[in-house]
A and B are shown apart, each in its own frame.
Chain A
Amino acid sequence: MKYRIAADIGGTFTDFVIQEYESKKTFTSKVLSTPKNPAIAVMNGINKFKLDLKNIEFLVHGTTVGLNAFLERKGARVLLIMTAGVSDTYTIARGDRKTLYEVQYKKPKQLANKIDVHEVKERISWEGKIINTINQKDFDPIIKKINKENITAVAVCFLHSYINPKHEVLAKKILKKRIGDKVVISLSHEVAREWREYERSSTAVMNAYVGPVVNNYLAHLEKELLKNKYKKPLYIMQSNGGIIRAKTAIKNPVQTLLSGPVGGTIGGAALSKITNKPNLICVDMGGTSFDMSLIIDGKPNITNETEQESLPLLIPFVDIHTIGAGGGSIAWLEAGALRVGPQSAGAEPGPACYGKGGSNPTVTDANLYLGRIGPDSKLGGWMGLQIQESKKVLKQMSKKLNMTNTQLAEGILSIINAKMADAIRTITVKHGIDPRDFSLVAFGGAGSMHAVWIAEELEIKEIVVPPNPGTFSAWGMLQTDIRRDLNKNFFTILSEVKKKELQKEYDQLVHEASKLLISEGVKEKQMTFYQTADMRYIGQEYYVNISIDNKIDLNKINNNFHKTYKQKYGHSTPDAPVEIINLRLIAIGKVEKPIDYSKMKKENIINKTSKQNREIIFNGKKFKTQIINRSLIKKHDIYKGPLVIEEESATTVVPPNYSLVLDKMGNLIIKKIK
């Protein structure tokens, strides 16, 4: 038997989805993560299924190793080399303020210290001509410092290298000769071939910063796998939603920064195809945060630049928007008024019901009090929640507000649900879309507990809870393809562009991309290329990304721009001149996926024999509510709310006036009863 496997390595758990090639059956599992050496958890997970690694045809994983190294500031010390005269560019970081009413303002802390930013004399002009050749002698003290102080990561960013990378390439050559093999050298034009020297240097530094950590980890995992006779390529999820071979990722580790979190969105894209629902809003609610992403016309939304902790990155990222709202969000009082979040009780002390001293009611306490979570649920690894603690803290607050516990508990949930709905509205406004045309896909631990109310706020008609919502991200990783993103700066007024010229530029990108895909083992007939361009009205800063047909039609490009602009912003100026900034190419190498979604194995059955009942409060009234294990739900039967569906990794709450069916793929579909 042959298998395909995905491993999603998170902070606490490593999730697995395993699929048999022939029977097309899918299994899921969770093991504890091993943060010190994440490879151990991967091996543990595979061994749990007692598989022969020789039979694994395809292995992909997503990891937060790089992201955690960055968030905890535990990456490598980076030495940055820039053009002489302007190296403070990196430290000045464009001098903007992220918040406006602070007289005690601190700039975001950069990853490379000013003392580690060095200069080399060289200069390339705005059109890519060499004005001053590179001064090799300037490298002497830098190389001495790297060797003496055991620096393991170097970033290089020269002015205008996005148009002429010669000097950066030369710098690498000079460095390579005289420093250790293991030192990561990150060239800005290789990481991000775009203009804006601060943003590009910031990307190159991030790449160098996480480089040694990610590379060590990947090398270690590959070694372990090889030891166990796994000889096929190891794939890794990238922030752009596609996969690449681990060997390729080592060259540009920054591409894998959001490797873990994007799996859910990619799962959403696959779900969209399978269920034939082109527009989805994907939500993932956990203990402290609420993640949202969009699938529009079957495609995940991908941005070409982002900021992480206020540091810019010029790298394609699946656009995931996060706010501080989760099960741990705290209710508090201000001037006699009720507020909920964004502060979270976290894991310590956690919600009051954990019994670890949490003294404010949280969202979880409200859910528990109302009966929407059972007292025997496994939450945050805690068995046996203490409902009397929830009652106690609710009582303290409800007295001050002159309301009942029930009113307060339902109120806390209403406020947090409205906040999450507001946040979704914000991202839909950004894209000029109407949430009413979308279905809401809920996964993660708490997503499906709140989904109905969020949908109600947004007038969304349908909620989809996929099978195994707790391991949906890992499942998503099995559904994606190999992807490379290429781009070229092409700063030109559209009306002056010649069709031939544009065609030539794209042909060149396609040529370059084919070579990259071939090195990933992709055959020519599995390759697909998508052309896009970043465009804007002359004088603007933000751009709109427009897709461009393989057969170039300049009029169509122009019309598409105005049309897309109008859709996004509600207005356009069709007679105003338009310019192109970047040409982009998405290169996809199709991965064979013999998936049959309907044959997914259900999660472990908690209570096989009987249906349970619990008293749950909805809208101030108590309802005797059926608690049903998901595996007992029958296809095409209509279940009427109130109802709670339990499975190992998630709880779905269906209030009165809503009904539920299981579709043929195994998704729970929840709708309002008319």
Chain B
Amino acid sequence: MKKTDPISTEIIRNAFIAIAEDMNAGLIRSAYAPVIYEGKDCVVALLDENGNVLGQSSGLPLFLGNLEVCIKETARMFGWDIFKEGDIFFVNDSYFTGTHLNDATIYAPIFYKKTLVGFSASRAHWLDIGGKDPGGPMDSINIYQEGFRWAPTKIHENYKPRKDIIEFLKMNGRFGYTLEGDLNAQIAAGKLGEKRFLSLIDRFGLDMIKSAREEIFKQSEIIERQTVKKLKNGIYRAEGYLDNDGITKDPIKIKMTVSVKGEKITIDLKGSSEQKTGPVNCGFAQTVSACRVAFKNLINPKRPVDGGTFKTLEVKAPEGSIFSAKEPAACQWYFSILGLLIDAFIKALSPVMKNQSAAGHYGDSMVFILHGVDYRNNSPFIAVEPTPGGWGAWGDGDGADALINNVNGAFKDIPIEIYENKYPVTIRNYGIRKDTGGPGKMRGGNGLYKEYTVNTDLNLSLWFERSKTTGWGLFGGKDAIGPKVNLKFPNGKNEKRLKSNSYPIPAGTKVTTFTGGGGGFGNPFNRNPENVLEDVKNNYVSIPQAKKEYGVIITKNLKVDYIKTKKIRKGK
């Protein structure tokens, strides 16, 4: 067997990364659904013949490293013989993939001279998969309401598309052609990966590739072990709550215990809530994935992921809990608790990783949906968007204002000009929501507000979370202000609500969404008064807030009154 050398290993390693990135770029650019091309709600990977990752590129951090599960599970169910040349597989079952049914995983074996040498795989969010509500319900109480549910299925067999299956899928989704377009984009991405992998094998030979792969995995593992080893051994904890499951009023607890021992980190989620009636449950595969994202945020964030990464990380969650949901738990909003889980991991380890940590962020996607019929062209429409909010501050930086949440991809807020063109809605007010970031030596980022006036009768669906556990402060920094949504009806009546499922609102209703801020870092009384003044000038902090939270007196002509400031800061 031909063994690799440092030069070939590095060339092959760079090639694996480049292949995955090109696959992902292709998928994102040619996808139909905005949630893929803008939300980057997708991931691709090139894997070896055992289902280990060679190269991965993820649009959405949450999908970090759970594609291999699909291949390994398929093999476990049907045996490795199931993978034949010219086959392409499809699966979307939540308990299998860990995410919601909208996430379609497409994977295909790669053969080189009749031998199985690897897999291409991708996962992308399909717009509609035939659940009870367009796009996916907000109040489902079991998985059967959420859409079609598939075990591993050959969607292409022996180089031919299975038209019967594809028609079935199209027929069951509300937007058939987008479904087919996204499926084709995924298949094309897989083919690109296959082609490039085969030409790499042609060049280096299969033995060399395998030998280099072992070397690359080993390098990744060593680098991670070295980083973890430097952490102080101990047990670290954090906990927090989601508001509710959308059905009942009970808060949902997440409890995390992180133990660091030598070169190993274990995340145990024992003590977290049992699985819930509402759609907030998550499959174990996805919980592992979210823990990996959390881990990656602190441990070597810039290094690409491969089969050698995460060997030092173990994840445990009790079966039947919200983090390891069982049939028939509803899973549509599986990601809400994961945003909190990531914040919790960073908080838990902050005592030993102060420089890498950051305070909590506003926490969830804050999804805003309007649907109905556009009176201008009589067409039905659905407008879905997540809303940015404030992020937590850290050792030497203020948190970002109005930034998309951690479990989302690179989602861009929809421009007002496009929104008003596409939907019968007018947006008159949109801006940074001052005083919502947690005060601290470093200030938490502010959330935002956005006022929508609907110009015809429409339905409103909302999923706004994290009003109970807002973006928490760290090291003496304070917690942030949480979200709210105000409805002002044309008859003058007002209403506040954070969640709703297809709630009818008449023409002329103004809906204003307010997202929360991020937590502060360090004692706010230690913040440089000049920075507080800048914040006041820029309208991030009000004059009363400067006094109350920061102990800084700002005069009417916008100067710091140092004498009074000194006094007030000493007084507390």
User: Taking A115-B538, A429-B192 as contacts, is the C-beta distance between A94 and B413 under 8 angstroms?
Assistant: yes
Is B7 within 8 A of A411, CB to CB?
yes
Smallest Cβ-Cβ distance to A91: which chain B residue = B432
Closest Cβ–Cβ distance, residue B454 to chain A (whole Å): 14
- Give a binary string over B287-324; 1 marks a CB under 8 Å from any A CB, 0 the rest: 00000010011100110000000000000000000000
Is A339 within 8 A of B10, CB to CB?
yes
Closest Cβ–Cβ distance, residue B502 to chain A (whole Å): 21
Is B357 within 8 A of A103, CB to CB?
yes
Residues from chain A with a CB closer than 8 A to the CB of B32 are 537, 539-540
The reply on B134 being an interface residue by CB < 8 A is: no
Is B537 within 8 A of A115, CB to CB?
yes
Within A85-131, the residues touching B (CB, 8 Å) are 85-89, 91-92, 94-98, 100-107, 113-115, 123, 125-126
Within B352-396, the residues touching A (CB, 8 Å) are 356-358, 361, 388, 391-392, 394
The reply on B400 being an interface residue by CB < 8 A is: yes
Smallest Cβ-Cβ distance to A89: which chain B residue = B430
- Flag the segment in B175-183, B277-285, B328-336 that touches A: B175-183
Is B181 within 8 A of A537, CB to CB?
yes
Is A429 within 8 A of B11, CB to CB?
no
Closest Cβ–Cβ distance, residue B74 to chain A (whole Å): 24
Residues from chain A with a CB closer than 8 A to the CB of B185 are 569, 571
Within B9-41, the residues touching A (CB, 8 Å) are 9-11, 13-15, 18, 21-22, 25-26, 29-34, 37-38
Closest Cβ–Cβ distance, residue B371 to chain A (whole Å): 15
- Give a binary string over A503-545; 1 marks a CB under 8 Å from any B CB, 0 the rest: 0000000000000000000000000000000000101111000
Within A463-517, the residues touching B (CB, 8 Å) are 491
Closest Cβ–Cβ distance, residue A495 to chain B (whole Å): 13
User: Taking A97-B403, A539-B33, A541-B34 as contacts, is the C-beta distance between A195 and B432 under 8 angstroms?
Assistant: no
Closest Cβ–Cβ distance, residue B486 to chain A (whole Å): 16
A484 to B357, CA, bound (A): 50
A159 to B357, CA, bound (A): 39
The reply on B397 being an interface residue by CB < 8 A is: yes
A126 to B178, CA, bound (A): 26
Closest Cβ–Cβ distance, residue A599 to chain B (whole Å): 43
The reply on B184 being an interface residue by CB < 8 A is: yes
Q: Which of A162, A411, A537, A568 contacts B6 (CB 8 A)?
A: A411
Is A86 within 8 A of B7, CB to CB?
no
Is B6 within 8 A of A88, CB to CB?
no
Smallest Cβ-Cβ distance to B29: which chain A residue = A542
The reply on A334 being an interface residue by CB < 8 A is: yes
Is B412 within 8 A of A94, CB to CB?
yes
Is A403 within 8 A of B6, CB to CB?
yes
The reply on A198 being an interface residue by CB < 8 A is: yes
A160 to B426, CA, bound (A): 12
Interface centre among A95, A425, A573 (most CB of B within 10 A): A95
Is A569 within 8 A of B30, CB to CB?
yes
Q: Which of A123, A407, A422 contacts B15 (CB 8 A)?
A: A422
Smallest Cβ-Cβ distance to B423: which chain A residue = A126
Is B11 within 8 A of A426, CB to CB?
no
- Chain B interface residue count, Cβ-Cβ cutoff 8 angstroms: 86
Residues from chain B with a CB closer than 8 A to the CB of A539 are 32-34, 175, 178
User: Taking A336-B219, A491-B421 as contacts, is the C-beta distance between A92 and B15 under 8 angstroms?
Assistant: no
Is B301 within 8 A of A101, CB to CB?
yes
A85 to B226, CA, bound (A): 52
Is A126 within 8 A of B421, CB to CB?
yes
- Flag the segment in A288-296, A413-421, A660-668 that touches B: A413-421
The reply on A401 being an interface residue by CB < 8 A is: yes
Closest Cβ–Cβ distance, residue B349 to chain A (whole Å): 11
The reply on B539 being an interface residue by CB < 8 A is: yes
The reply on B222 being an interface residue by CB < 8 A is: yes
Is B388 within 8 A of A95, CB to CB?
yes
The reply on A141 being an interface residue by CB < 8 A is: no
Is A414 within 8 A of B7, CB to CB?
yes
Q: Which of B58, B361, B420 contacts A126 (CB 8 A)?
A: B420
Closest Cβ–Cβ distance, residue A397 to chain B (whole Å): 10
Is B14 within 8 A of A415, CB to CB?
yes
- Give a binary string over B24-67; 1 marks a CB under 8 Å from any A CB, 0 the rest: 01100111111001100000000000000000001001000000
Is A198 within 8 A of B415, CB to CB?
yes
Smallest Cβ-Cβ distance to B203: which chain A residue = A457
Closest Cβ–Cβ distance, residue B84 to chain A (whole Å): 22
A429 to B219, CA, bound (A): 29
User: Taking A95-B388, A337-B10 as contacts, is the C-beta distance between A426 and B416 under 8 angstroms?
Assistant: no
Is B400 within 8 A of A105, CB to CB?
yes
Is B37 within 8 A of A542, CB to CB?
yes
Residues from chain B with a CB closer than 8 A to the CB of A336 are 219, 222
- Give a binary string over A546-587; 1 marks a CB under 8 Å from any B CB, 0 the rest: 000000000000000000010011110101100000000000
User: Taking A92-B432, A537-B32, A571-B184 as contacts, is the C-beta distance between A101 and B402 under 8 angstroms?
Assistant: no
Is B6 within 8 A of A335, CB to CB?
no
The reply on B431 being an interface residue by CB < 8 A is: yes
Is B416 within 8 A of A86, CB to CB?
yes
User: Taking A96-B411, A126-B420 as contacts, is the C-beta distance between A573 and B184 under 8 angstroms?
Assistant: yes
Smallest Cβ-Cβ distance to A96: which chain B residue = B412
Is A426 within 8 A of B21, CB to CB?
yes
The reply on B77 being an interface residue by CB < 8 A is: no
A575 to B177, CA, bound (A): 9
Is A197 within 8 A of B416, CB to CB?
yes
Is A95 within 8 A of B37, CB to CB?
no
Within B206-247, the residues touching A (CB, 8 Å) are 215, 219-220, 222-223, 226
Closest Cβ–Cβ distance, residue A534 to chain B (whole Å): 14
Closest Cβ–Cβ distance, residue B417 to chain A (whole Å): 4
Is B222 within 8 A of A335, CB to CB?
yes
A95 to B404, CA, bound (A): 6
Is A159 within 8 A of B416, CB to CB?
yes
Closest Cβ–Cβ distance, residue B204 to chain A (whole Å): 11
Residues from chain B with a CB closer than 8 A to the CB of A104 are 356, 358, 394, 397
Residues from chain A with a CB closer than 8 A to the CB of B7 are 338, 407, 410-411, 414-415
Is B400 within 8 A of A106, CB to CB?
yes
The reply on A196 being an interface residue by CB < 8 A is: yes
The reply on A257 being an interface residue by CB < 8 A is: no
Is A160 within 8 A of B15, CB to CB?
no
Residues from chain A with a CB closer than 8 A to the CB of B219 are 334-337
A110 to B427, CA, bound (A): 24
Interface centre among B6, B13, B411 (most CB of A within 10 A): B6
The reply on A340 being an interface residue by CB < 8 A is: yes
Smallest Cβ-Cβ distance to A95: which chain B residue = B388
The reply on A430 being an interface residue by CB < 8 A is: yes
Smallest Cβ-Cβ distance to B6: which chain A residue = A338
The reply on B187 being an interface residue by CB < 8 A is: yes
Residues from chain A with a CB closer than 8 A to the CB of B9 are 337-338
The reply on B556 being an interface residue by CB < 8 A is: no
Is B357 within 8 A of A540, CB to CB?
no
Is A89 within 8 A of B416, CB to CB?
yes
Within A418-462, the residues touching B (CB, 8 Å) are 418-419, 422-423, 425-426, 429-430
Q: Which A residues fall within an 8 A CB radius of B?
A: 85-89, 91-92, 94-98, 100-107, 113-115, 123, 125-126, 159-160, 162, 195-199, 334-340, 401, 403, 407, 410-411, 414-415, 418-419, 422-423, 425-426, 429-430, 491, 537, 539-542, 565, 568-571, 573, 575-576
Q: Which 10 A-B pairs have the closest CB atoms?
A: A95-B388, A411-B7, A88-B431, A569-B30, A570-B188, A126-B420, A422-B18, A571-B184, A94-B412, A101-B301
28 pairs of residues in contact across A and B, judged by CB atoms under 8 Å: A86-B416, A88-B430, A88-B432, A91-B432, A95-B403, A96-B403, A96-B410, A101-B296, A103-B358, A103-B406, A106-B400, A107-B400, A114-B539, A159-B417, A199-B415, A334-B223, A335-B226, A336-B222, A340-B10, A403-B5, A414-B7, A414-B11, A418-B14, A426-B21, A540-B37, A541-B37, A568-B29, A569-B185
Q: With contacts A429-B25, A568-B29 known, what are 18 further pairs, Cβ within 8 A?
A: A86-B430, A94-B413, A95-B448, A96-B403, A101-B293, A103-B297, A103-B357, A103-B358, A103-B394, A105-B400, A126-B417, A199-B415, A337-B13, A425-B22, A540-B31, A569-B26, A569-B188, A575-B177
